[in-house]
Amino acid sequence: MRARTEILVVLAIVGSTAIAHAQAVRAKYRLEGGRPHTDVPFNIDVVVDGFDEAPAPDQPTLEIAGATVTPAGAQPNVSRSIQIINGRRQDSTSVTWVLRWRVLVHKEGTLRVPALTVSQGSKSATAAAGEASVDTVPTTDEMTVELVLPNRPVFTGETVPVKLVWLFQNQPEDQSFTVPMMSLDTFTIGGPPVTAGSRKVLQFAAGAKDLTLPYELDATTVNGTKVNRLTVTFYATPKTVPPGGKVELPPASVIAALPVGRADFFGRSDSRLFRASDIARTLEVKALPETGRPTSFVGAVGEQFSIEVRTSRSVVSLGEPVQLDIQVKSDQRLDTLSLGKLDGADRLPKDRFMVPAEPPTGELSADGKTKTFTVVAQVTGPATEVPALAFSYFDPRKASYQTIHSEPIALSVKGGTIVGAQDVVGGIKRPQAADPVDDTTLVTAELALSSDAQVDARPLGGALLWLLVGLLYAVPLGLFAFRSWQLRTAGSREEASEARAARRRVEELLDRAKDAPARDVAGPLAASLRELARVLGRELGEHAALLAKLETESFAPDASGKPLSPDLRSDSAGLLRRWATDARRARAGTNAGAVASMVLGMLLGSAGGSARADTSAISPPRGDVLSDGRAAYQDAMQHTGDPTARKAAFARATIALGEAARAHPDQPELLADWGNAALGAGDVATATLAYRRALIVDGGNARALRNLGYLRARQSESFRPSATATATDTLLFFHRWPRARRLLVGAAAFAIAILILMPRSGRRRRGTGVLALVPLAVWIAMLASVVFEGRHTGDAVVMDGVVLRAADSAGAPAALTQALPRGAEVTIIERRAEWTRIQLANGIVGWVPQSAVEPVTQ
């Protein structure tokens, strides 16, 4: 039995109920991760139902005797639902707040958790007190853990690599690491980037947050013994100098379940939790020297740095902005790197350039060793170049400050009026509230309304889809396993038939031996027993004496007048029973293994589908809002001579169809109808959003493809996404198929390949493997298309004409000389408070209000 099931005492904490303003508010404790252990951090949550979504409740102080408790924040879980009944929309919201504390206990025994009251405004709820048992995990010599620190003093602000090395022999399970260094306030802890989709990652508790770190696994030899070695690297940056200049680091430890005892028939064995600990270590931290510190130094510490500056243009007019991209590279991670103010000494002269007062925020590269700062500088005076920018850093090896410079960039400044940042923003031409579409240009768009049957169509999904996919995988695999077992056991089944015949012959002779003379029975009985031993593959050994007695009995003087002796008959019958019992046990073990393998394959196939079944196919019933939208759309199509009435009808259809589309987001034809109505009403932003959502559901929707192409053609090249079809797009045409179709085609191809490869006799025919390559290639292509398809999580549409800012502030300078048009397709990079950072199709990055963009994926 696994170590997690060896829990003798569990946390018994039951939440109490509080009533506030006639609304039921309940709070209860929840223990994460099973039974707690000493020196292993674990989480205690307070789950509160009945609070509002905002504001966040105050997290009270949780004090537990004999334990160190660290608050880990509060997080709401919000569930929203929409119902449309008789054309009326009803919204409902369910909110559950989870407040978390991280607890560390150093002594085993009973942990008493006190009652705790959580408040949000006038509402409050109390979680009842409870107890939990904490035990100590025994140590073992089968694994060791070591924290490898730099073998020199480090400086404040210096990012140094730290390695955690775990050596183990047997295969561990459910490992849990404790690295106290990660939770110390003295350090800022970070980690290397994690490859998307990688499974070689581990979770570590770093104060109030969890840190996901990649690991490396290899083998090594220690004292002549081959062991496995797992290495995790993280980065520590000292923030302050501790008293005495040294940081005492408590020992790191690991707890894992290791196998104990002998393995059973299936190769499984019981497991127990064991612990391995490092020794306490000391790291010396020094302060940066005050003497010789350059004015351009803002805290960068490292051995190698470089700086490069690029400009958006080389010719500007006096008073115009110019974008500077400042790129800093190093041989270490630059998570905490700051560039500082750019209008100081050895930077941009204040009499020629004006920059934002706040230091720029940088964008980190994937490997964390390059950071790019984007700054919009306004040219306010005569200049011939962007001067070389100084960058200073402290080299810990040399124990001294170093200063490097970028290359100057030639700049041509034409005469003009010097204006301020607000004047520049105020002079930007804004689009009108709506971007009208001329009816004469709509001849190239496909404005036909879908039929009543098409509007409800949706790609196959939900439980039915996964049931079909599961059957297409499970049935061929089950047939393949059964046929393989049948062929593999054909010989043994034939041998079993021969053994049954030999056993029946022995049984007949034993029945005759009761009355027939011994001379007629003893000899044939001995021969039959020898034949049965040959068929069963048994060695006679000690039983040879019995056969010899039978043969001697047949030649006895009185053998013709009396039957075989009762002792010989009894010994012969007992021998027959032992051989028959052993043969049945051997056959039962073989058959059970084969049947278990076949059943396991079928269960895995079907379970994989059913486990992922969702209820997306279950949708609200079709309401009057959809009928009203379709009626308004048809009314708009009839007003061919009255553009004003036509657009008004399209606007009504847009509102109604939009509500229906939000209630049925998985119907591509309905989404295309919504986009067509918006296009007819002149709302290009809503039309673009609707077409993009339709293509996510069904990438081959003809109306959405054609009309989105029409809208993109009307955009300027600066805002138009690339839509040129390449040879690769033509070859991989199936990427535009709905996800359900690709899943079914892949499953069907897999089933065909398995049926082709299924053995039909003792040996497969030549060429069968070659024939199976085609469906296997189709299966791999469909599977790869589903796994690596773009999720469009960052795609968005500009819904309002806004100014693209250089920073997340309404007073920040404009990043473009023109406002963003409605319907422009962008990519969301970052969200911060009420602002969203986006990237345009031409690569320009800037900030817009969060309400101005709408994500494509819902």
Q: What is residue 574's predicted lDDT score, i.e. its pLDDT?
A: 75
Residue 486, Cβ neighbours under 10 Å: how many? 12
Picking from 255-269, 702-716, 822-836, which range would have the lowest pLDDT averaged per residue? 255-269
22/312: higher pLDDT: 312
Residue ranges covered by each domain of the chain: 3-134, 143-286, 299-419, 430-451+619-714, 490-607, 726-789, 795-855
pLDDT value of position 291: 87
What's phi and psi for 212, nearest 5 deg?
-100, 120
Cβ-based neighbours of 139, under 8 Å, separated by 6 or more: 274, 275, 276, 277
pLDDT at 492: 59
In whole angstroms, give the CA distance from residue 787 to residue 781.
10
Q: Which amino acid is at 386?
A: V
* Coil, helix or strand at residue 563: strand
> Binning pLDDT at 50, 70 and 90, where does residue 836 land?
very high
Give the Cα separation of 623 and 657 in Å (integer): 11
β-pair partners for 828: 838
What 3-state class would DSSP assign to 76?
A: strand
Decide if pLDDT at 85 tops 80: no
Q: Which CATH number fits domain 795-855: 3.30.70.100, 3.75.10.10, 2.60.120.10, 2.30.30.40?
A: 2.30.30.40
The residue that leads in pLDDT, 827 or 320, is 827
Spell out the alpha helix ranges (H) of 715-813. Answer: 727-731, 739-757, 768-787
What single string gives the DSSP state of each residue in 609-650? HHHT--STT--PPP-HHHHHHHHHHHHHHH-SS-HHHHHHHH
Query: Which residue(s) pair with 147 in the sheet?
Result: 164
Q: How far apart are CA 522 and CA 547, in angstroms?
A: 9
Q: Is the pLDDT of residue 458 over 80?
A: no
Residue 608 has a pLDDT of 41
Under a CB-based contact definition with an 8 Å cutoff, are residues 823 and 841 in contact? no
Identify the pLDDT of residue 260: 81
Neighbours of 145 (CB within 10 A): 22
Record the tokens describing residue 580, joined without a space. Answer: 């028959």
Per-residue pLDDT at 617 exceeds 50: no
pLDDT of 791 reads 58
396/65 Cα distance (integer angstroms) = 43
Q: Which among 558, 528, 562 is positioned nearest to 546, based on CA atoms?
A: 528
Given CA atoms 708, 714, 718, 719 in this order, what sign does their dihedral have?
negative
pLDDT in tens, 487-507: 777 655 655 666 777 777 777
Say which CATH class 3-134 falls into.
mainly beta
Which candidate, 155, 173, 168, 214, places its Cα nearest to that of 190? 214
Q: 227 exposed, middle or buried (CB, 10 Å; 0-12, 13-18, 19+)?
A: middle
Residue 694 C-alpha from the chain's centroid: 25
Domain spanning 430-451+619-714: CATH 1.20.810.10: no
Q: How far apart are CA 76 and CA 60, in angstroms?
A: 16
Question: Which comes out higher in pLDDT, residue 2 or 365?
Answer: 365
The closest alpha carbon to 771, from 755, 760, 748, belongs to 755
Q: Which amino acid is at 415?
A: G
pTM attached to this predicted model: 0.42
Q: How far apart are CA 98 and CA 76, in angstroms?
A: 6
Q: What is the mean pLDDT of the chain?
A: 78
**143-286 adopts what CATH topology?**
Immunoglobulin-like (2.60.40)
β-bridge pairing 281-286 and 246-249: antiparallel
d(CA 721, CA 176): 47
Give the separation between CA 465 and CA 574, rounded to whole angstroms. 59
pLDDT of residue 220: 92
How far apart CA 357 and CA 807 sit, in angstroms, is 11
When mean pLDDT is compared over 146-150, 273-277, 380-384, 819-823, the highest value belongs to 146-150
CA angle 770, 774, 780 (to 5 degrees): 120
Q: Do 326 and 178 form a contact (C-beta atoms < 8 A)?
A: no
Domains 299-419 and 795-855 share a fold: no
Residue 573's nearest CA partner among 519, 541, 532 is: 532
What counts of helices (H) and strands (E) characterise the chain? Answer: 15, 38
Which of 380-384, 693-697, 763-767 has the least mean pLDDT? 763-767
Per-residue pLDDT of 315-369, as tens digits, reads 888 778 888 999 999 988 888 888 888 877 778 888 788 888 777 888 888 888 8
pLDDT at residue 417 tops 50: no
The set of residues, in sequence order, having a beta carbon less than 8 Å from that of 237 and lying 6+ positions away, is 157, 158, 159, 160, 187, 188, 189, 190, 335, 336
Is CATH 2.60.40 what the domain over 299-419 is classified as, yes or no? yes
Q: How confident is the model at residue 115 (pLDDT cuts 50, 70, 90)?
A: very high
Winning range, highest mean pLDDT, from 27-36, 121-130, 531-540, 586-595: 121-130
Question: In this structure, what token pair is assigned to residue 724?
Answer: 């040129």
Phi and psi based region of residue 174 (left: phi greater than 0; alpha: psi -120 to 50; beta: remaining): left
Return the H-helix or E-strand segment holding 532.
Answer: helix 518-536
> Of 277, 252, 164, which is closest to residue 215 (Cα–Cα)?
164
Share of the chain above pLDDT 70, in %: 77
DSSP state of 35: S
